[in-house]
A and B are shown apart, each in its own frame.
Chain A
Amino acid sequence: MAPRTLFEKVWAAHEVVPETRDTPAVLYIDLHLVHEVTSPQAFSVLRSLGLKVHRPERTLATMDHSTPTRTDQVLGRVPIALDAAARQVKQLEHNARDFGIELFAMRDERRGIVHVISPELGATQPGMTVVCGDSHTSTHGAFGALAFGIGTTEVGHVFATQCLLQRKPRTFAVNVNGTLPPGVTAKDLILGIIGRIGVGGGTGHVLEYRGSTIRALSMEERMTVCNMSIEAGARAGMIAPDATTFAYLEARPRAPQGSAWSAALARWRTLGSDPGARFDESVDLDAATLEPMITYGTNPGMVMPIGAAIPRAGDAAREKALDYMGFRGGESLLGKPINVVFIGSCTNGRIEDLKAAARILKGRAVAPGVQLLIVPGSQAVKRAAEAEGLDEIFKSAGADWRESGCSMCLGMNGDTVPSGHYAVSTSNRNFEGRQGVGARTLLASPLTAAASAVRGRITDPRELM
């Protein structure tokens, strides 16, 4: 057999019916993740057609997008402040019960952001196909799964048939070699990749991140990288499973146990791209040349090393973006005052991210007038952080420590950035209004975010390390 890529192996193993000129492939889905915002209309379709969920045991639901992060609301001591959010939460409870789907509801200790909880439970595994009505499903590709976001109509398709109609995407190798310098994180790496290939550079493709830099990343760092594949327009991003992957998964509650574990390992070891496998596109990066990165515009491709000067606007789109951000081409961002810092999201809301932030915040205080919001990616991350005393470091620095959820990553749960305010955010999208109407978002790593919170100004984290 001709050498195959990781993607081609996973795709082939899930083709129920291969594609033809006239019809797309019928692709089998191993794991379907569900949340409250993109599922209600899909459940309605099932009801109106009298259909059941074909494989409820392959379906896992949580609440994260519209849920509040304030403890009193999560614990039910006071009602959820946003009516519409309360309705969506109720409706998901009702739908999960009616269709026999496992749900991590509001006060479940396993609840959290959908892309954080599935890996931490060991539900996401190498070689799987994973979908969710959410574009950051690409996160799960860190395990060597083919994982991608779908729309609500497709959520309905997976409910009813456990399958999707799909055309086979093309492949794109992202080769990264060398050692990341101190203070340069996985977030800076993926921002650097997006800056290089552009926000539409991956359209129609599945990225495979390869090379010595990628091999050296922890699972959490790999998730940060794969998470933002969609920000390059890619259908998905994948990393071949290896010893790091297996060590992370072993003994997680939903991972195979006993003899099933050894059988799974044997299978997973064969998944990596074969030597000589061909990719449709490729790009090479040298990790040693990377620096802490920050965005200056209104999409993640408008990004630069933190000490650089903002590129001078060359076209109308860039001009409009700089106008929205209140920046001028040619100026530096270092030292610019900020109002809000958000540490969290499915990009940077895991325990290693919180530890990185704590390294900077320990024994320091948030600058006067700056709001620092730290929101763990899941309740499990919250407990782990509290077990290590990170919450104490955060609180004594003056940060606001919350319950898990998407929070300020998108402005639909009560956590928003006020209009015109600058927010250094560890999330993944700096679109106009993403964090609140008129909000001005600067994407960066947890280190840069924490350092900027301490100084109250955009700060190179290496100055505080």
Chain B
Amino acid sequence: MSGLKRIESHTVVLAASNVDTDQIIPARFLTTTERTGLGRRLFADWRYGADGAPNADFVLNRPEAAGAQVLVAGRNFGCGSSREHAAWALKDYGFRAVISTEIADIFRSNALKNGLLPITVSEATGGWLVAHPGAAVEIDLERLTLTLPTGPVAFELEPFARHCLLEGTDELGYLLGKMPDIERFEAARSG
């Protein structure tokens, strides 16, 4: 995974609250044994009609959504099933960040592990973003700022996750480096 420092993009807005991971990627597509190729299934039941034709009303099917790397979503985005396929599908589709006033715990963790940046913002900022679909935004991961056309706002990110995203390193390497501590812990418990 290469390092992630800045994202400049227009937004796509999915204003609904409590968008669960069954909507992001329906269960019938979980039979894959790969991580790739799920982008075309993203939001499948909203994006396509029963006949498989794109549903023109759905936001991702509108011409202005093309190329957007930032998804603005309603409160409690990513709730429900722990399927990491949801983060894989969003990433595979081309999203690099998700912005919401609240992001569900497991989805947030899965997103961070796949270079998809989950950003939690205030009600005011979230409200502005929802009201201005297609807005040009800039995300600076080094400074932890989200710049809207109206000016910059700060956001928070767990320091270790930020470090991993910036460096493009993964957590497994760090955990493997703790193996001596882990083995000492195991020995002390069984002793």
Known A154-B113, A235-B105, A429-B22; judge A88-B82 contact (CB<8 A).
no
Q: Name the one of A49, A149, A161 contacting B179, with C-beta atoms under 8 angstroms.
A: A161
Residues from chain B with Cβ under 8 Å of A26 in the complex: 175, 178, 181-182
Q: Which of B30-38, B62-70, B148-156 contacts A (4 or more CB under 8 A)?
A: B30-38
Q: Which residues of B contact A (CB under 8 A)?
A: 15-18, 20, 22-23, 26-28, 30-35, 45, 50, 74-76, 79-84, 87, 102, 104-106, 109-110, 113-114, 158-160, 163, 171-172, 174-176, 178-179, 181-182, 185-186
- The answer for the CA separation of A419 and B15 in the assembled complex, in Å, is 25
Distance in Å: Cβ of B119 to nearest Cβ of chain A? 15
Residues from chain B with Cβ under 8 Å of A65 in the complex: 27, 30
- The answer for the CA separation of A16 and B186 in the assembled complex, in Å, is 9
Q: Is the CB of A412 within 8 A of B105?
A: no
Q: Is the CB of B45 within 8 A of A41?
A: no
What 0/1 pattern do residues 154 to 198 of A give for CB contact below 8 A with B? Answer: 101100111101010100000000000000000000000000000
Q: Is the CB of B82 within 8 A of A133?
A: yes
Known A16-B182, A157-B172; judge A151-B109 contact (CB<8 A).
yes
Q: Name the one of B22, B32, B75, B160 contacting A165, with C-beta atoms under 8 angstroms.
A: B160
- The answer for the CA separation of A433 and B24 in the assembled complex, in Å, is 11
Known A165-B160, A317-B74; judge A151-B84 contact (CB<8 A).
yes
Q: Which of A17-25, A111-119, A279-287, A442-450 contacts B (4 or more CB under 8 A)?
A: A17-25
Distance in Å: Cβ of B130 to nearest Cβ of chain A? 11
Residues from chain A with Cβ under 8 Å of B158 in the complex: 24, 167
Q: Name the one of B30, B35, B82 contacting A412, with C-beta atoms under 8 angstroms.
A: B30
Residue of A nearest to B111 (CB): A151
Q: How many A-B residue pairs have CB under 8 A?
A: 167
Distance in Å: Cβ of B67 to nearest Cβ of chain A? 27
Q: Is the CB of B159 within 8 A of A21?
A: yes
Query: How many of A's residues come within 8 Å of B, CB to CB?
Result: 65
Residue of A nearest to B185 (CB): A16
Q: Does A432 contact B (CB under 8 A)?
A: yes
Known A200-B18, A437-B50; judge A163-B113 contact (CB<8 A).
no
Q: Is the CB of B178 within 8 A of A16?
A: yes
Q: Is the CB of B18 within 8 A of A41?
A: no
Q: Is the CB of B160 within 8 A of A23?
A: yes
Residue contacts A-B, CB under 8 angstroms, 17 given: A17-B178, A23-B159, A28-B185, A54-B182, A84-B31, A85-B31, A87-B33, A157-B172, A157-B175, A163-B175, A199-B79, A200-B102, A200-B104, A233-B76, A431-B23, A433-B23, A437-B50
